[in-house]
Chain A
Amino acid sequence: MTWFEILKEPNIQWILWACTLLGIGSGVIGSFAYLRKQSLMGDALAHVALPGVCIAFLLSGVKSIFLFMLGAMVMGIISTFIMSYITRKSRIKQDTAIAIILSVFFGLGIVLLTYIQHNANGNQSGLDKFLFGQAATMIRSDVIVMAIISAILIVICTLFFKEFKLASFDAGFAKGLGYPVALIEQLIMFLIVIAVVVGIQAVGVVLMSALLITPAVSARYWTEKLGLMVFLSGLFGGVSGVIGTIISASGNNLPSGPLVVLSATGIFVFSILFAPSRGVVSKFLLRQSVKRKVEKEKQMQLRERGSSI
């Protein structure tokens, strides 16, 4: 099969669309997470989904993707409240708070999962499969959900661009201007929760956090403007989605999730090496040229001094 033929297969088209849209949406909201030093929040939220899914199952007794997503979302929102409360009210720093949330909620999730497996009636296997991601089983309705969610993410980020920017850069100043900073911060968190809950199904817990982090870090290397950074981050996320899916479809049975992540990592490595002015190579060249310049100036000065005597 040629690439073009691969892309014509309807099944693969759905996966392609899903991964691309997911990449764009999470890339956009991921830039704000990066700037607020909350990159790993996505990782934590993806783990928090487990107890959410378990509680949804315990309460309803049915296995429904919609209820699972709802449970994961509610749990995600609760955990973001707890996290910001801990960092606001105590000396505990953000990274520690995120790690606490991740481990305790996931631990609780495992307790609930094993409890369900040992005690509840009926067919309860496969709860955790929700968390490991199955892009290959993506169908049309999943893609539509993803498209809607990604569109919502992008629209909200565009509408509130100014507010997000200020609250991320200088929360104190934003407060002084009368912005409801706490509300804005919670909104950003909420968007991350949505992106994570939708994304887990496609790529799984760990790889979902990569989609929030890696495109944003790569984008940061290319620009000093937030607007452009958000755009690039979305672009990189989307491109990673496309490349990952194509390799997955043309290769021998490789899962698309990790390949999407590795494509994003490839873009990151390229950025860190070759981005203008911030990249490693250009930094090195710059350093050499500055060194030469300084040397040259020194020589000239010496000569001037010599001629003036």
Chain B
Amino acid sequence: MSVNELWVILTGIFVAASCGILGCFLILRKMAMVGDAISHSVLPGIVIAFLISGSRDSLVMTLGAAVFGLVTVFLIQLFKNSGVQTDASIGVVFTALFAVGIVLVSVYTRQIDLDLDCVLYGEIAFVPFDRITLFGMDAGPKAIWGTGITFFITLLVVSLFYKQFKITSFDPAMAASVGIPVALIHYMLMGLVSLTTVSSFESVGAILVLGMLVVPAATAYLLTERLSVMIVYSVAVGIVSTILGYYAAVWLDASIAGCIVTVAGIIFGLTFIFSPSHGMISKWWRKRKILQEDHAKQAQLETA
């Protein structure tokens, strides 16, 4: 394994781990599409940051994106509170912001050089080449730092407030009645999702972020009955998909991000069929067994 390979896989693992943790809470709160929404609606933020600063420095653009990530979350909640269904609220917000972004891009596209494809669909294969220098020394690829720091922040916040994240996801009314600030916790979670999306999508692409946010978490949801275990499984599935996906991409000579998500999809499909607790086969088997026992009982009754 070359060093560059290692960098790419390590970046993927950091993304998978952050997303795996947060994804569990997203799907339990029925907000799975929030990641998709954020990754699109940050476009105007990126463009505005670029127009103001005039540089393609990724820190400035990330900041612009992060601001719009939070705006997205805030608007979704605002419309939801005024009676729009969650999913529709998500849809209205991100499409509108994305449209604003495209208009901005096309208004200024002559003057500036901002490649839309590049901004929206980062390519993980380029991770090793965009490097950061600290004190005049090469400190490794920039993406490693971005995704790594994000992962540690996510891990820290979720473990500190695990209790609050859990109870507000399960029973917000009861949580509010004992004085837990439900709205604050919600924004904390959404802030983390926003941070993860923004820090990852520039280096690995929006589709990989969304895929990693929902597919491993949904897989874990079919395997366990405990939230803590679900989070561990979710991260594990994400990491396995990253590694397998990377080598599949090398073998097929195709997009790494695409392959990682596809592998995660395949793992989900297999779990959906074969999970011991929630799989189709075990469910069918249990149903059959109950029916058989029923028949046996009836037969006994009849003979008696």
A→B interface (CB under 8 Å) = 34, 37-40, 42-43, 86, 89-93, 95-96, 98-100, 102-104, 106-115, 118-119, 206-207, 209-210, 212-214, 216-217, 220, 252-255, 257-259, 261-262, 265, 268, 272, 278, 280, 283
Contact = CB atoms under 8 A, between A and B. Distances in A.
B90 interface: yes
Contacts of B107: 252, 254
- Residue of A99, A212, A220 contacting most chain B CB atoms (<10 Å): A99
B31 A95 contact: yes
Given A100-B268, A206-B40, A261 B210 contact: no
Given A86-B272, A91-B222, A104-B265, 20 more contacts: A37-B85, A39-B87, A43-B36, A92-B27, A93-B30, A99-B33, A100-B218, A111-B254, A113-B258, A114-B253, A114-B254, A213-B92, A214-B91, A254-B106, A257-B102, A258-B99, A259-B103, A261-B95, A261-B96, A262-B103
B59 interface: no
Given A103-B214, A255-B106, A214 B31 contact: no
A113 B255 contact: yes
Interface in B70-118: 79, 82-92, 94-96, 98-100, 102-103, 106-107
- Residue of B35, B40, B103 contacting most chain A CB atoms (<10 Å): B103
Interface of B: 27, 30-33, 35-36, 40, 79, 82-92, 94-96, 98-100, 102-103, 106-107, 207-208, 210-211, 213-215, 217-218, 221-222, 249, 252-255, 257-262, 264-265, 268, 272, 278, 280, 283
Given A40-B87, A114-B258, A107 B102 contact: no
Nearest to B110: A253
Given A40-B90, A90-B222, A100-B215, A262 B33 contact: no
B98 A206 contact: yes
Contacts of B257: 107, 110
A34 B128 CA distance: 44
B106 to A, nearest CB: 5
19 contacts: A34-B85, A39-B88, A40-B33, A42-B91, A95-B87, A96-B217, A99-B32, A102-B210, A103-B215, A103-B261, A106-B261, A111-B252, A118-B253, A210-B95, A217-B85, A253-B106, A261-B99, A262-B100, A280-B82
B17 to A, nearest CB: 17
A180 B143 CA distance: 52
- Residue of A93, A107, A115, A220 contacting most chain B CB atoms (<10 Å): A107
Contacts of A212: 91
B39 to A, nearest CB: 11
A217 B92 contact: yes
The 3 tightest CB contacts between A and B, nearest first, are: A107-B261, A104-B265, A110-B258
Given A92-B221, A207-B98, A255 B103 contact: yes
B222 A109 contact: no
A103 B210 contact: yes
A91 B265 contact: no
A185 B160 CA distance: 44
A134 B283 CA distance: 48
**Majority SS at the chain A contact face:** helix
B255 A114 contact: yes
A207 B268 CA distance: 29
A104 B258 CA distance: 8
Contacts of B254: 110-112, 114-115, 118
Given A210-B91, A265-B96, A111 B272 contact: no
B102 A255 contact: yes
Contacts of A216: 88
Contact of B88 (A217, A258, A262): A217
Contacts of A38: 87
Contacts of A96: 27, 30, 32, 214, 217-218, 221
B206 to A, nearest CB: 10
Contact of A100 (B89, B92, B214, B280): B214
Given A99-B32, A100-B268, A104-B261, A265 B99 contact: yes
Contacts of B215: 100, 103-104
- Residue of B84, B86, B92 contacting most chain A CB atoms (<10 Å): B92
Contacts of A207: 95, 98-99, 102
Given A217-B88, A272-B82, A107 B258 contact: yes
B91 A209 contact: yes
- Residue of B88, B210, B265 contacting most chain A CB atoms (<10 Å): B88
B83 to A, nearest CB: 6
Nearest to A92: B218
A213 B265 contact: no
B106 A104 contact: no
Contacts of A257: 99, 102
B93 to A, nearest CB: 9
A119 B107 CA distance: 36
A268 B262 CA distance: 36
B88 A98 contact: no
A10 B255 CA distance: 42
Contacts of B99: 206-207, 210, 257-259, 261-262, 265
